[in-house]
Amino acid sequence: MARFSFGRRKRRTQDQPAASALGHSRKQRRGRRAWYVCCDFFGAFGGLFFYMFFIRPVMGVLDARDWHATPCTIISSDVGVHDDDDGVTYSVDITYRYEVSGRSFTSSRYSFATGSSSGRAGKQKIVDAHRPGSQALCYVDPSDPQQAVLNRKMTGGIWLAGGLSAIFPAIGIGGIVGVAYAQHRRNRRSRALAQHADNRTRADDALAAFLPDYEPRQAHEPATLSPTGKRIGGVIAIFVFAAFWNGIVSIFANEVVQSHRSGNPQWFLTIFLIPFLLVGIAVVGFFFYALLGLLNPRPVLMLQSRAVELGDFLDIRWQVRGNARRMRHMAIELRGGEEGTYRRGPDSVTEKQTVAVIPVMDSSDPITMSDGSASAPIPQTAMHSLQLSNNRIIWSLHVTGSIPRFPDVKDEYTITVLPRGGGGRRW
């Protein structure tokens, strides 16, 4: 029923010399520095683009609220065509003349949006409304009459440029925050280990070498494991991704819709956008599907002790909060898995494998599913929990429950398995 292959991995991890760990630590520091440089590059250049294409136009829009409305005469108007490697884009090219205090000025600024964009129809409509020789109303800076604009509002081009340029600083800042948070967690764990170093026995010190999160003072305490936080966290993560994905796609979708409404559809952009729209719809559907999972019955596991030694029994009691009769079948398994990270050419590859499956409970009886207890033997020949830089041995309890026409119950709870004589308790 169960299969074990921990022995070879155990010998390989135990035979690693201290110099290897030191070298790995140096590689980690170099990797963090390289990641910081990459994120700084994205953040710096992305911030520059965001300032040029969004912040500065927005500042112009805000300043122009106090500019004076002044009559002007359109001298020329046309749609500018810009053909480059990225394709053909268009801009509004309008030149107009106005007078301030008896002096004549000319300007060619239509709005505060910078650059050009796709979609000729919208630009052509603006040009048609500003024929040469026609009268219009422009807005002039009272402190510098040479500065004027025809449209002082926030245009769609400004929002589009802002959304696109915001992606790069977001990637840079997100990467820096992620690395800093991971380093903070490592430092916090190191400080916690150092704080309790004086109170640990030699066995505890040995355990700390391969179980950084192990706390001897809590090893004998009962543990209650509930899936509520993990379920909500998963739903929130899907919602954030769906909002980010669809927020970016909606910017281009709006451009496509406007082009079709104006009678000059952008078919290339329309076809290109279809897969992204389908992914966005699928993600939204998956979000609502995951949201239904919050209504599922919640299995709560109660362990006699947070840690158990090899060769002992893991005593488990379960209670299902909610209507357990909604589940047709429920099973609890104790699984042992190993993860190994190694280099394959320039890439870092992580392999995961489940090597031990120990049945704890398997029933379709509503009474047994709603409340019960069992003991799971921990084979003495298996490998204990392990957490090193490149290798991990993870023991966990998996609870599954099938519900018709609803998301199934799939919850996982990590436990700690200690070596013989490692501080656990015989039951």
Ranges of the chain whose pLDDT falls below 50? 1-24, 196-201, 423-427
Which fold is adopted by the domain 298-418?
Answer: Immunoglobulin-like (2.60.40)
Q: What's the pLDDT score for residue 415?
A: 84
Q: Which amino acid is at 316?
A: I
Of 213, 228, 231, the residue nearest 407 (C-alpha): 231
Rounded to the nearest 5 degrees, what angle is found at the Cα of 417, between the Cα atoms of 415 and 420?
160
Residues β-bridged to residue 298: 321
Q: Which amino acid is at 420?
A: R
| Residues 6+ away with beta carbon under 8 Å from 261 | none
Where do the CATH 2.60.40.640 domains begin and end in the chain? 298-418
Q: Are 396 and 414 in contact (CB under 8 A)?
A: yes
Residues β-bridged to residue 98: 72, 105
Q: What's the pLDDT score for residue 45?
A: 73
Tokens at 160, concatenated: 């589009």
Q: What's the pLDDT score for residue 410?
A: 86
Q: What's the pLDDT score for residue 191?
A: 66
Q: Are 167 and 248 in contact (CB under 8 A)?
A: yes
Distance CA 273, CA 276 (A): 5
Q: What's the pLDDT score for residue 227?
A: 67
Question: What is the model's pTM?
Answer: 0.46
Q: Which residue carries 């009962």 as its tokens?
A: 222
Residue 105 DSSP class = E
